[in-house]
Amino acid sequence: MSPRTVAGGRTFTDIARRAQIVQCAADAIAETGYANASMAEIAARAGIAKSVISYHFADKNELLQELVRTAVTRYIELIGPRLDAEDDVRRKIRAYITASADYMVVHRSMHLAVVEIAFHATTPDGRPRLDSMPLNAQENLEEILRRGQEFGELGDFDVRVMADLLRTAAHQTMTLALRADPALDLTSYASALAAIFDQAISPQPSTP
């Protein structure tokens, strides 16, 4: 393998160009919406010809797949260490919410683009792309909550329902709030949201 290439035979220049195209696609989709983010628009943002995109990606579907894969990888890389650093279950849940908010702040265009793709794009066979997107990768919320209950750190609640509520809060509630108010202090919003969930999952004092 040449020192100028990496696994798969791509050069470092190829990898950098692919990453640039993916980011420009994310910016275009986040700013103009999925329907208006044409290949021509993406190419213009990257300062390249459409043929250059075609050289790196077979079609728009492949480009979207790479965008989603990149977004999920970045999310896991950010949230994983934050969850692993916490031994206390309640702090893990707080970290899950606040780290999700930090991801939205740091990778705003990428996150909003994935939301647009999830709800407006379809796969080549006509299915909603949301059905095949690994949006809950590496979370294991049910396992975290169940372990907390087993060790007496959490209250008595339906683990599946609470996990679904947490995912909705982290991936939908904060996204809708951010879209409604682009100037929103999402860090403070996430902190308030985490405090609400902390109260909901904490052991309740026994009544005399």
Q: Hey, where are the domains in the chain?
A: 11-201
Domain 11-201 listed as CATH 1.10.357.10: yes
State the pLDDT at residue 7. 54
Percent over 70 (pLDDT), the chain: 89
- Cα separation, 143 vs 147, in Å, equals 6
Query: Which pTM was predicted?
Result: 0.84
Measured CA to CA, the distance from residue 62 to residue 120 in angstroms comes to 16
Distance CA 58, CA 166 (A): 37
Q: How confident is the model at residue 2 (pLDDT cuts 50, 70, 90)?
A: very low
| Residue whose pair of structure tokens reads 């792309």 in the numeric block | 129
Q: Using CA atoms, how far apart are residues 24 and 20, in angstroms rounded to an integer?
A: 6
pLDDT tens figures, 92-135 = 999 999 999 999 999 999 999 999 998 888 877 877 766 666 65
138-185 pLDDT, tens per residue?
458 999 999 999 999 999 999 999 999 999 999 889 999 988 998 999
CA distances from residue 142 to 38, 135, 157, 162, 188 in whole angstroms, order as listed:
39, 15, 12, 8, 26
